[in-house]
Structure 1
Amino acid sequence: MPSPTIDGTLRGYVIPIGGGEEKMNNPEILSKFVKLSGGNDAVITVVPTASQLDDTGKRYQKIFEEIGVKKTYSLPITDRNDAKNPAYVKILEKSTGIFVTGGNQLRLSTILGGTPIAQAIRQLNAKGVNYAGTSAGAAIVSQHMITGGSSGTVPTEGGVNLAPGMGLINTIVVDQHFNERNRLARLLSAVSFNPFLVGIGLDEDTAAFIDHNNVFTVVGSGAITVVDPSDIEYSSMAKARAGDALTLLNLKVHILSSGARYDIGERKAYVS
């Protein structure tokens, strides 16, 4: 479950990014994240744990500094002992924005899950610190995190692999690199288990800026596919055998591009 907010404090933004965000010419998504986090006075901490490249954290620090951030940190968390380091928690606590990079989301969950770093990220977001994550860093915002599955458009039994995520928001399930890697089938498979979840498929260079009211605005050059199963009349998941195609009746799907908005609680899309 998301960490409870303190009375009078608004939760920070939760910003899942579909990966491949523009970093050089017009870094619209990263610039908006910085602006919401304090602009030039922002303190951005990068968590590059999902990546196995040694320079990922430093590269993002440089990107944020070029945008105008005066103070950045990168936490070299590569194992669970690092994720228990109180010095790293103290650095996180200085942040106005936390950025989690792409890579392998299972690496993120197995290293960070249940550690003081994960607890600090959740608590800080509840206290108003903004969280942005790209690719793997986007997938882990869900309570139920997609870790793999089938490509294509037809959902199947066994067509998606799920693992516990960080649970910053517990009413959505997120997939990334969505249209680029043809991932509709696995998002549909995920929501077929339980219509409580809203499926959010993020194209590359596209982000959902989710505010404290659980209303998000689309930012970026691609689109967000929203799968709303709240009015579903039938799912064959309970009867399906391994590999069977699923029957799903009365699903609602929205395709939202830059500037469009979606209310996760009300399950309603808007054009600004």
Structure 2
Amino acid sequence: MDQHLFLFGGSPPFGRIHGKQFASLCNQKNGHVAIFCLNRKGWQTYMPKYQHILEEEGVTDFRYYLLEETNSIRSEKITGIIICGGDTLSYHHYIVTKRVGEEIKQLFQEGVPIAGFSAGALICSEYCMVSPSDYKGDKLMILNGLGILQDYIIAAHYSKWNEKQNLLAVMTETKTEKGLGLDDEASVYLKNGHIESLEGKNVHIEKGWSFE
């Protein structure tokens, strides 16, 4: 079963190219697109930003999963997953460390496409990089991620937060040879762990060295 991952460096919307590709992978006859987000004031008014490109491409059934209240999605009929942006540490806590994270990973392995925006992108790799700019801290953090993407470290808001040195540091620490620096209006589509297409400005591909 092919696996499909869309990573965005900033906030929604989808770009036209990747929105169309994501929509085409969602079998609307057999289920709905799940949007995972934090329960923050005004979250309902923000959801159309994630949806409108997909709606123009024929996706009509969306359901929202507030992470603080979602323990399991085992019985849900989900044909596409969107992991929203926001506080990375909160997304990590409510997805990566909980059962729902394993269930998301299983759906991904079964071919359900996943789109992650900013924090939603960061938690997808084997190691999740949390920049000091992300949580107003003074220390670069490396956490275990979902692991649905191997061999890459992800950095969101790459140019805006001047993340190159942080990305290279995490690549070195984790012995990961490749890094993806995603600017706010950039996205990448990976099929079976390999880059298929890029969209927007700009995707920075950093390469380390071979680790013995």
**TM-score normalised over the length of structure 1:** 0.67
3-state SS of 2:78 partner: coil
Task: Mark the CA change 1:62 to 1:144 in structure 2 (over 3 Å): closer, same or farther.
Answer: closer
CA distance in 2, matches of 1:98, 1:62: 12
Q: What is the number of residues matched between the two proteins?
A: 208
| Alpha-carbon shift at residue 32 of structure 1 (Å) | 2.2
In structure 2, runs of 5+ residues without a counterpart are none
Q: Do 1:150 and 1:186's aligned partners in 2 also have CA atoms closer than 8 Å?
A: no
Residue 101 in 1 paired to residue 84 in 2? yes
| Alpha-carbon shift at residue 232 of structure 1 (Å) | 7.0
Corresponding residue of 1:189: 169
Task: Mark the CA change 1:224 to 1:143 in structure 2 (over 3 Å): closer, same or farther.
Answer: same
| Alpha-carbon shift at residue 116 of structure 1 (Å) | 2.5
Matched to 1:105, the amino acid is T
Q: Per-residue displacement from partner, 1:80-102 (whole Å, max 9, x unpaired)?
A: xx232x4x4322xx122100000
Question: Pick from 220, 223, 230: which aligns with 2:209?
Answer: 230
Q: CA RMSD in A?
A: 2.8
CA distance in 1, matches of 2:102, 2:46: 21
Corresponding residue of 1:32: 21
CA distance in 1, matches of 2:163, 2:188: 17
Task: Mark the CA change 1:180 to 1:61 in structure 2 (over 3 Å): closer, same or farther.
Answer: closer
| Alpha-carbon shift at residue 108 of structure 1 (Å) | 0.7
In structure 1, runs of 5+ residues without a counterpart are 1-9, 152-157, 234-272
Q: Per-residue displacement from partner, 1:124-157 (whole Å, max 9, x unpaired)?
A: 1011111110100000011211111479xxxxxx
| Alpha-carbon shift at residue 105 of structure 1 (Å) | 1.2
Matched to 1:193, the amino acid is E
Corresponding residue of 1:258: none
**TM-score normalised over the length of structure 2:** 0.84
Corresponding residue of 1:46: 35
Where in structure 2 are the equivalents of 1:40-119 lying within 5 Å? 43-49=32-38, 53-55=42-44, 58-60=47-49, 62-63=51-52, 64-77=54-67, 79=68, 82-84=69-71, 86=72, 88-91=73-76, 94-119=77-102
Corresponding residue of 2:185: 205
3-state SS of 1:46 partner: strand
Matched to 2:23, the amino acid is V
CA distance in 1, matches of 2:133, 2:33: 35
3-state SS of 1:196 partner: coil
| Alpha-carbon shift at residue 65 of structure 1 (Å) | 3.0
Which has the bigger relative contact order, CA under 8 A and spacing at least 6?
A: 2
Q: Per-residue displacement from partner, 1:34-78 (whole Å, max 9, x unpaired)?
A: 12324788731111138664326643564233442121111122x
3-state SS of 2:103 partner: helix
Which has more radius of gyration?
A: 1
Q: Do 1:46 and 1:75's aligned partners in 2 also have CA atoms closer than 8 Å?
A: yes
Corresponding residue of 2:118: 135
